Structure 1
């Protein structure tokens, strides 16, 4: 058995000690953490050091990897004790990282296929998270029947799968030694999603079906080389959140952007590559690109769920979040089609001066790209009109206008701030935010004054 496998197995066993918190209380858990940290400082060599040490720990002569891991768990535990985070979420986050990593290291002995390794991690991590939540509930409520635990299974699956996907994404972007950061991140995500439980209307089978749909489409994007591993994981996570917290209608709107936008990156790719304007990695989009275009949409989904659960101050109208969502996706679609299709036609002109510029210049636009962008906004508006009765003809027109406004903001920011102040992802984020705000505010104005 290799050293990484032994270390991962030892960490998984140590993670199991987190069950002492629901079993004996926070003071017992704190005492165990103190013993582990003290032992980590005391052990500086020997077989136990070799078992638990990361490669960098040999240079330092300390088990800093273990120490930071335990400190991250303690931080989550303090949040669970002092704030509204449930102990079940805390336990799930610790077990998820420990057992998911152990399973991945075991799988690595047989294959180095990235998708297989990610799948193994996510599957075992989800099972560990769901099991941790169920065990915590049974340990903290001795009178709890199987029926009461069963009633919370849909939420457990949703929280576990979402946290596992985020963990896999962060591990792909970061390094394996950054598991403390991963643990803290998935714990905070679980806390947020647990607060939105009143908005969950799907049963366990429907959540599993939603997970299956998003995984299938995410893998298709990877197989078609329109998304990297990180981009695939980001798309699956965002898709799952959208279906569960919004609904399939919201998901269809979002996936239309991922599908059409991803395929547009392949449009005359060789020609774009020669011009120097093609996406890197053969057009496969990474997590930064996906989040830059979809982060605002997901915030709108979360806002919709929070308003539906009446946990936002002021009780905002949930429908406004729907239009913010549609406006952001309309912008993302418009901007993507404008740049991917327009870049191979004619000589672009800088939007601020209309002077001819080289292809790929930030802020450069073509009339063909503008038409493609308007067409993209119209597609999103048309889908929204069909799927959401509250949109109507006027709402669809506002969504088209939001896409055009956001696309224009993207070009203006590209011509003025991109490169020196903003990255491409930052420009995409601000553009989609402008489209979302425009759409929601215009709809609000129609509602108030119309």
Structure 2
């Protein structure tokens, strides 16, 4: 057993302490807290050798173990005094502990980065399911009716943890653990019906979707993980129709990035990393859509009809599609004009547009609108027109922001977010006005 695997196994063993939460209650926080304080007192010996990370060896203290245990302490306190469910506490801690162990074991076999990330997610998923089952049994809660939601929470937590670990360091485990805890707390509180079929399909589809996007170099590993998490949440919390709208953007948008890529690279208007999109790019285009899905899942608690969130979702995706196609297609044509003054500018200038790009953008919004009209009864012809207008409006907002604020005040991802937010608001607003 190598040092890395042995260390990961030791941390996994510590995370197993969370299984005692149903019995110990608030004392679980005290146990993790005592472990954290005790870790700071260890400076050498067998325990130090088991748990020490490279940075700990330089500093002579088990700061990594202390931080890991303090994060678990905080989550245990939320469980004891703030209403965080016990099974969420257990899942949040063991997903990180055993996900790390599975990843380190995969590393021993010289697995590719994608396989190491997959091992983390797989190990975290299995540990999250097992931990929640143990917690519910200890609480006397029937497991069978809750099993679909248990698997959904474990899969969501494992995907988020895998995503964060792909962009952070091992010493950031406390941040990963706390992020997973808050996400799962939110999902556990949603009164959404989760079925075995939906969860099984979501896991299979997201695994396939993530692998294909990585293999085709349309997304980096963080970008792939972000897209996989968004896909799973969209399928489970929205439905297959919502996922079809989302995947239309990822599929067509990714292909458009590869369209005449070498030519765009020579002109200086191509995406970096050979078109592979990172997590920031994915979130910039899809964060608003994710919020719309979450709002739709919580519609029973909000004084807004669920259909409004559907149009906000479709409007944001139509904007993302329009903006991507207008940039990727329009980027191969000469003589762009600045949208604010109509003066000719160099290709790649923020806020520069071509008529070919505008046509491509509107066509992209029409594709999203057509899919939505086909799959959702509330949309229809009028709703499809609303979605096209939302996409065109968001695309225009993106160009205006690019011409006025991008660069000195806003980055590209912020502009994408604001543009998709505009598309969502236009879609929802027009739906309220134009639809019965």
Q: Give the alignment's TM-score, normalised by structure 2.
A: 0.98
Alignment partner for residue 144 of structure 2, among 150, 154, 157?
150
Q: For residues 30 and 396 of structure 1, what CA distance do their matches in structure 2 show?
A: 53
Q: Which residue of 1 aligns with 2:74?
A: 75
Does the C-alpha gap of structure 1 residues 366 and 85 become closer, same or farther in structure 2, counting only changes over 3 Å? same
Q: Which residue of 1 aligns with 2:398?
A: 410
Q: For residues 35 and 150 of structure 1, what CA distance do their matches in structure 2 show?
A: 35
Pairing 1:250-399 to 2, within 5 Å after superposition: 250-307=242-299, 310-312=300-302, 315-399=303-387
- SS, match of residue 344 in structure 1: coil
Query: How many equivalent pairs are there?
Result: 436
- SS, match of residue 199 in structure 1: coil
Q: Which residue of 2 aligns with 1:185?
A: 179
Q: Give the alignment's TM-score, normalised by structure 1.
A: 0.95
Pairing 1:108-147 to 2, within 5 Å after superposition: 108-141=107-140, 144=141
Alignment partner for residue 433 of structure 1, among 416, 421, 426?
421
Contact 2:29 2:72 in 1 (8 A): no
Q: For residues 356 and 198 of structure 2, what CA distance do their matches in structure 1 show?
A: 42
Alignment partner for residue 444 of structure 1, among 423, 426, 432?
432
Alpha-carbon distance, 1:358 to partner: 1.2
Q: For residues 295 and 254 of structure 1, what CA distance do their matches in structure 2 show?
A: 12
Alpha-carbon distance, 1:362 to partner: 0.7
Q: For residues 306 and 390 of structure 1, what CA distance do their matches in structure 2 show?
A: 19
Q: Which residue of 2 aligns with 1:199?
A: 192
Q: Which residue of 2 aligns with 1:237?
A: 229
- SS, match of residue 244 in structure 2: helix
Q: Which residue of 2 aligns with 1:94?
A: 93
Q: Which moved more, 1:31-40 or 1:63-72?
A: 31-40
Contact 2:223 2:277 in 1 (8 A): yes
- SS, match of residue 258 in structure 2: coil
Q: For residues 389 and 25 of structure 1, what CA distance do their matches in structure 2 show?
A: 48
Q: For residues 165 and 34 of structure 1, what CA distance do their matches in structure 2 show?
A: 27
Alpha-carbon distance, 1:200 to partner: 2.1
For structure 1, the residue ranges without an aligned partner over 5 or more in a row are none
Does the C-alpha gap of structure 1 residues 48 and 257 become closer, same or farther in structure 2, counting only changes over 3 Å? same
Q: Which residue of 1 aligns with 2:164?
A: 170
Is 1:26 aligned to 2:26, yes or no?
yes
Alpha-carbon distance, 1:201 to partner: 4.1
For structure 2, the residue ranges without an aligned partner over 5 or more in a row are none
Displacement over 2 Å in runs of 4+: none
Alpha-carbon distance, 1:167 to partner: 0.4
Q: For residues 104 and 362 of structure 2, what CA distance do their matches in structure 1 show?
A: 48
Contact 2:192 2:298 in 1 (8 A): yes
- SS, match of residue 191 in structure 1: helix
Q: For residues 258 and 29 of structure 2, what CA distance do their matches in structure 1 show?
A: 54
Alpha-carbon distance, 1:38 to partner: 2.7
Alpha-carbon distance, 1:336 to partner: 0.2
Alpha-carbon distance, 1:35 to partner: 2.6
Q: For residues 123 and 3 of structure 2, what CA distance do their matches in structure 1 show?
A: 20
Alpha-carbon distance, 1:364 to partner: 0.7
Alpha-carbon distance, 1:195 to partner: 1.2
Q: Which residue of 2 aligns with 1:106?
A: 105
Q: For residues 244 and 7 of structure 1, what CA distance do their matches in structure 2 show?
A: 35
Contact 2:198 2:235 in 1 (8 A): no
Q: For residues 22 and 206 of structure 1, what CA distance do their matches in structure 2 show?
A: 29
Q: Which moved more, 1:119-128 or 1:77-86?
A: 77-86
Q: For residues 410 and 31 of structure 1, what CA distance do their matches in structure 2 show?
A: 51
